[in-house]
């Protein structure tokens, strides 16, 4: 009987830890400039810093969805990484030097991408 109580205690405490982790994960969306599939890959990879669980950038809407743990990373760090890759967001603008490193079709300020 004592073993059953111990096992049940371990199981219930494990569920409590899992529930706490789920509450610590948030999903946010931000507008990020880009043009094409190459931009999508670059933006998503740049946003995937330590503490981020999932990223998705929509080419049509220019919306980046980020699922992350605020206890491990903040939005500013994520968007600074995206800006360093050359893509401006509504909160952090890319430096001209980083933007100019983008391939020609990915330079979203010119609107010249054909794919």
Prediction pTM value: 0.78
**2: in domain:** no
Question: What would the pLDDT profile of 44-73 be if each residue is shown by its tens digit?
Answer: 999 999 999 999 999 999 999 999 999 999
Angle at 93 between CA 49 and CA 90, to 5 degrees: 85
CATH no. for residue 81?
3.30.70.100
Tally of structural domains, the chain: 1
Q: What is the pLDDT of residue 11?
A: 61
pLDDT tens-digit series, residues 102-112? 999 899 988 76
Give SS3 for 101: coil
Residue 50, SS3 per DSSP:
coil
- 54 inside domain: yes
Residue span of the structural domain in which 65 resides: 25-106
- If pLDDT is split at 50, 70 and 90, which confidence band does 8 have? low
CB atoms closer than 10 angstroms to residue 56: 14
Residue 33 in domain: yes
């Amino acid at each position: 009987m004592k073993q059953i109580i111990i096992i049940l205690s371990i199981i219930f405490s494990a569920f409590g830890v899992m529930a706490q982790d789920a509450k610590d994960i948030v999903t946010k969306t931000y507008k990020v400039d880009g043009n094409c599939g190459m931009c999508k890959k670059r933006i998503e990879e740049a946003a995937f810093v330590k503490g981020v669980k999932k990223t998705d950038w929509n080419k049509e809407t220019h919306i980046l969805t980020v699922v992350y743990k605020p206890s491990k990373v903040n939005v500013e760090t994520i968007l600074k990484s995206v800006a360093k890759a050359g893509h401006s967001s509504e909160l952090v603008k890319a430096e001209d030097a980083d933007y100019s490193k983008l391939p020609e079709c990915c330079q979203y300020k010119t609107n010249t991408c054909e794919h």
